[in-house]
Amino acid sequence: MREWEHNIRNVEPYIPGEQPKSVGVIKLNTNENPYPPSPKAELAARDFNFDRLKLYPDPNASQLVHGLAKYYQVLDNQVFVGVGSDDVLSICFLTFFNSDKPVLFPDISYSFYPVWANMYQIPYCEIPVDKDFHIVAKDYYRENGGIIFPNPNAPTSLYMGLDEVENIVKNNQESVVIVDEAYIDFGGQSAISLIDTYENLLVVQTYSKSRSMAGMRIGYAIGSQRLIEAMQAVKFSINSYTMNITSLVYGSAVLEDEEYFQECVEKIIATRERTKRELAELGFTFLDSKTNFLFAQHKKIHADALFEELKKKNIYVRYFNRPKIDNYLRITIGTDEQMNKLFAALKEIINED
Amino acid sequence: MREWEHNIRNVEPYIPGEQPKSVGVIKLNTNENPYPPSPKAELAARDFNFDRLKLYPDPNASQLVHGLAKYYQVLDNQVFVGVGSDDVLSICFLTFFNSDKPVLFPDISYSFYPVWANMYQIPYCEIPVDKDFHIVAKDYYRENGGIIFPNPNAPTSLYMGLDEVENIVKNNQESVVIVDEAYIDFGGQSAISLIDTYENLLVVQTYSKSRSMAGMRIGYAIGSQRLIEAMQAVKFSINSYTMNITSLVYGSAVLEDEEYFQECVEKIIATRERTKRELAELGFTFLDSKTNFLFAQHKKIHADALFEELKKKNIYVRYFNRPKIDNYLRITIGTDEQMNKLFAALKEIINED
């Protein structure tokens, strides 16, 4: 090892789901939306003057911030935007979790949380979910340096009622509590309604799931002015201009198309409920999803084997080889047509078994 | 102060140059390119299928990485891309500078360096430039935890010959040495030619200046495979997908238009040389710029006053109220037409004085 290699940060990175490049793959592995984004994005792009690319984007991303503030009926200074919710969450860890006490998050949860904690040398404690994979609010009533959890949780797909979320916040007013709501639009109630009551509550959402814009990398946080200004100070200590001009333009444009948004979300919910019935008939059990994915296991065939067999048939789902969940598949809800192909493939695999 | 506020990271952010929103402003304050990007960007956009936005972008940004590797005749695994060179440099600080020894950089330099160092709690030492603002290579032959400097330097505009850059690298083979080449295309020789000789050398460049794409936020680093893989591990511990699909598409497309690129760079160099003559006639002195900006002072009128007077006339230049340079203006080279307006405005101000 050369001398300079000793100074290299040693980290264990998060591994995202595969992004297969071959055509014809049915991609149900990264919880993307199967429908295109609102046509307003393309319309905005048509009016775009490419001459504009030569200038830096607005470092405050005001257009997008203002659009989101209007959409959620909050103030502009209660909104923070970043390059996907991963960027936003990473900045949250850096900004809020500077304590010797452990940050708390569920043991079965977004597997990026421990990665950020390790990256920024933040102590943490993983709180076990109960035997049915539920987050138990009262387990979070203990000393901590901050709290973060997804609601609905991933990969479990389970939603916790807003009253329980509020209980966690109410019982932790000495900590910043972050609710990671990537999947909230598929059937949950957002904690954004609580931000004026609890100055220590931050809600994080994304364009990658319900808004069909994973390709644009847009995430945002909504919370009290004090929390947002603290995140801004950290953001401006890392990169002045994070949101490029196209993300500002497309991101703002689609907020103007609520009808299209609701339509897509409803279609996905309908397909999800149908998928539950179909999978049940095929011998699967699953948790009561309020997301755009199901967390399912088969009564006979191991998840690992199903994962491999589906892949051979060009259908990608997600499998986590981790304690407690290593016999589950996380299956994104695609179009009805895609799901029909999944059901057919599963039938073949199950019958061959 | 509430309890949770004690855990908030306390930082002093970098303040970027103003981005005035009013129309008709002559913007010579953030070293943007006055010419639009290659038309290949717009052509690529025309073919773009908006349906693609629903999917995550390639986390490895392979298309852009490969385009850059081909352009610079290096291997794909010698290239790292990020959301502007600020993102790339921030990741460099996190990745390479984990030492108790101080990181070295010039005292008159990119003012983001101490911000990143403070952000990530990295000790540093600012090495004074000489009385003519030159970086002196031998001042960097001392114990350190890493070295970073821009070449050409900003805001001084001065270029250091490749032999001197090599001397710094050669005399610091126990450290990672980063050459920040945001302005190299305007007349310097890149240190990319040295990366196969020195495994500890990393060169950082950007699309924001010579490639007229500040609005897209694309930066990159080129260095040995070992350095790049270390940066990748850190990047994948922060945000899996940093480059959105439009930056991948436009960023790759413009690399195919070398002729247009060279043409723009030559126009800017020609305007820069003409600007030197005009400013000299107006009583300015300035350093021998090899960038797309001049660092100039007037023999009679203080830079601060000139800055304010120009602003009143809707011409924005950059003024740094900092020791050693508080009587200098940093003036971006715009189009000939923009510079003519600057000269006329300066004449008026000087004659009124």
CB contact under 8 A, B238 and A116: yes
| Burial group, residue A312, by CB count within 10 angstroms (0-12, 13-18, 19+) | exposed
The answer to whether B95 and A9 are in contact (CB under 8 A) is: yes
pLDDT in tens, A87-137: 999 999 999 999 999 999 999 999 999 999 999 999 999 999 999 999 999
| Cβ pair A244:B216 closer than 8 A | yes
Tell me whether residues B246 and A216 touch, CB distance under 8 A: yes
CA dihedral B218, B224, B227, B230 (to 10 degrees): 90
Does the distance separating the beta carbons of B230 and A83 come in below 8 Å? no
Q: Which pLDDT score, from 0 to 100, does residue A19 have?
A: 83
Confirm or reject contact between B53 and chain A (CB < 8 A). yes
Any B CB within 8 A of A12 CB: yes
Q: State how far the Cα of A330 lies from the Cα of A325, in Å rounded to an integer.
A: 10
Question: pLDDT above 70 covers what percent of chain B?
Answer: 100
CB contact (8 A) between residue B7 and residue A236: no
- Residue B266 pLDDT: 98
Binned at pLDDT 50, 70 and 90, residue B17 comes out as confident
Contact (CB<8Å) B50/A30 = no
The burial class, CB within 10 Å (0-12 / 13-18 / 19+), for A134 is middle
What is the identity of the amino acid at B82? Answer: G
Q: Of all helices (H) and strands (E), which one includes residue B248?
A: helix B245-254
Residue A195 exposure: Cα atoms within 13 Å on the Cβ side:
24
CB proximity under 8 Å: B 296-325 to A:
none
Q: Is the peptide bond before B37 cis (omega within 30 degrees of 0)?
A: no
Question: Token pair 């010419």 is at which residue?
Answer: B35
Q: B50 contacts in A (CB within 8 Å)?
A: 36-37, 39, 41-42, 45
Chain-centre distance of CA A92, in angstroms? Answer: 14
CA distances, B150 to each of B140, B188, B190, B266 (Å): 14, 12, 11, 21
- Contact of A350 with chain B, judged by CB distance below 8 Å, is answered with no
Q: Is the pLDDT of residue B216 over 80?
A: yes
Whether the CB-CB separation of B264 and B334 falls below 8 Å is answered with no
pLDDT of residue A194: 98
Task: Convert the pLDDT of each residue in B141-167 to its tens digit.
Answer: 999 999 999 999 999 999 999 999 999
Q: Prior bond to B155 cis, omega within 30?
A: yes
Question: Which residues 219-248 on chain A approach chain B with CB closer than 8 angstroms?
Answer: 226, 230, 232-247
- Residue with structure tokens 């539950």? A276
Structure confidence at residue A21 (pLDDT): 77
| B30 shares contact with chain A (CB less than 8 Å) | yes
Strand-by-strand arrangement of the B219-223 sheet: B79-82, B219-223, B201-206, B177-180, B147-150, B103-106, B124-127
Give the amino acid at A245: I
- pLDDT tens digit sequence for B64-84: 999 999 999 999 999 999 999
- Which residues of chain B are within 8 Å of residue A54 when distances are taken between CB atoms? 32-37, 212-215
Mean pLDDT of B199-227: 98
* Residue of B83, B96, B237 lying closest to A239 (CB–CB): B83
| Residue in this structure with the two tokens 């009385």, named with its chain if needed | B131
Residues 121-150 of A with CB under 8 A from B: 145-146
Do A119 and B237 make contact, defined as CB atoms within 8 angstroms? yes
Rounded to the nearest angstrom, the gap between the alpha carbon of residue A239 and the centroid of all alpha carbons in its chain is 23
Mean pLDDT for B98-118 is: 97
CB contact under 8 A, A244 and B175: no
Q: Residue A20: what pLDDT?
A: 84
Contact A173 B4 (CB under 8 A): yes
For residue B223, what pLDDT is reported?
98
ipTM: 0.96
Residues of A in contact with B223 (CB under 8 A): none
B188/B64 Cα distance (integer angstroms): 24
Q: Is A32 on the interface with B (CB under 8 A)?
A: yes
Mean pLDDT of chain A: 96
**Cβ proximity of B178 and B147 under 8 Å:** yes
Give the whole-angstrom CA distance, residue A272 versus residue A280: 12
Going by C-alpha positions, the residue among A179, A254, A7 that lies closest to residue B146 is A7
Q: Tell me the shortest Cα–Cα distance from B103 to chain A, in angstroms.
A: 11
Q: Which of B66, B111, B217 to mutate to test the interface with A (most CBs of A within 10 A)?
A: B217
Residues linked to residue B296 through DSSP beta bridges, in sequence order: B286, B329
The pLDDT assigned to B132 comes to 97
Residue from A3, A7, A90 whose CB has the most chain B CBs within 10 Å, to mutate: A7
Token digits of residue B255: 């690399």
- Give strand pairing partners of A273: none
Count of CB atoms within 10 A of residue B167's CB? 16
**Average per-residue pLDDT in chain B?**
96
Q: What is the pLDDT of residue B20?
A: 84
Residue B263: CB atoms within 10 A of its CB come to 13
Cβ-defined contact of A237 to B208 (cutoff 8 Å): no
- Token pair of B159, please? 């270029």
d(CA A306, CA A310): 6
Helices A84-96 and A225-235 pack at an angle, to 10 degrees, of 100
Dihedral through CA A158, CA A162, CA A164, CA A170, nearest 10?
Answer: 140
Q: What one-letter code names the amino acid at B66? A: H
pLDDT tens readout for residues A125-162:
999 999 999 999 999 999 999 999 999 999 999 999 99
Residues B14-32, mean pLDDT to the nearest whole number: 89
Residues of B in contact with A9 (CB under 8 A): 94-96, 98, 230, 233-234
pLDDT of residue B49: 94
Residue pair A59/B211 in contact by the 8 Å Cβ criterion: no
Tell me if chain A has a CB within 8 Å of the CB of B13. Answer: yes
Please write down the HEC assignment for all residues of chain A: CCHHHHHCCCCCCCCCCCCCCCCCCEECCCCCCCCCCCHHHHHHHHCCCHHHHHCCCCCCCHHHHHHHHHHHCCCHHHEEEECHHHHHHHHHHHHHCCCCCCEEEECCCCCHHHHHHHHCCCCEEEECCCCCCCCCHHHHCCCCCCEEEECCCCCCCCCCCHHHHHHHHHCCCCCCEEEECCCHHHCCCCHHHHCCCCCCEEEEEECCCCCCCHHHCCEEEEECHHHHHHHHHHHCCCCCCCCCHHHHHHHHHHCCCHHHHHHHHHHHHHHHHHHHHHHHHCCEEECCCCCCEEEEEECCCCHHHHHHHHHHCCEECEECCCCCCCCCEEEECCCHHHHHHHHHHHHHHHHHC
Residue B111 to chain A, least CA–CA distance (Å): 11
Placement of tokens 């032959």 in the chain = B141
CA-nearest of B291, B280, B284, B292 to B329 is B284
Contact B176 A7 (CB under 8 A): yes
Contact B239, A269 (CB under 8 A): no
Nearest residue in chain A measured CA to CA from B60: A19
Closest by Cα among B211, B262, B182, B267 to B36 = B211
Asked if B237 and A13 come within 8 Å (Cβ–Cβ), the reply is: yes
Residue B175 neighbours by CB under 8 Å, 6+ apart: A3, A4, A7, B144, B145, B146, B147, B200
d(CA B241, CA B247) in angstroms, rounded, equals 12
Would strands A201-206 and A177-180 be described as parallel, antiparallel, or unpaired?
Answer: parallel
Q: State whether residue B152 sits within 8 Å of chain A by CB.
A: no
- Residue B8: its chain A contacts at CB < 8 A? 95-96, 98, 230
Low-confidence ranges of chain A (pLDDT < 70): none
Whether B56 and A226 lie within 8 Å, measured CB to CB: no
Is a pLDDT exceeding 90 seen at residue B107? yes
Q: What is the pLDDT of residue A122?
A: 97
Is A242 in Cβ contact with B246 (below 8 Å)? no
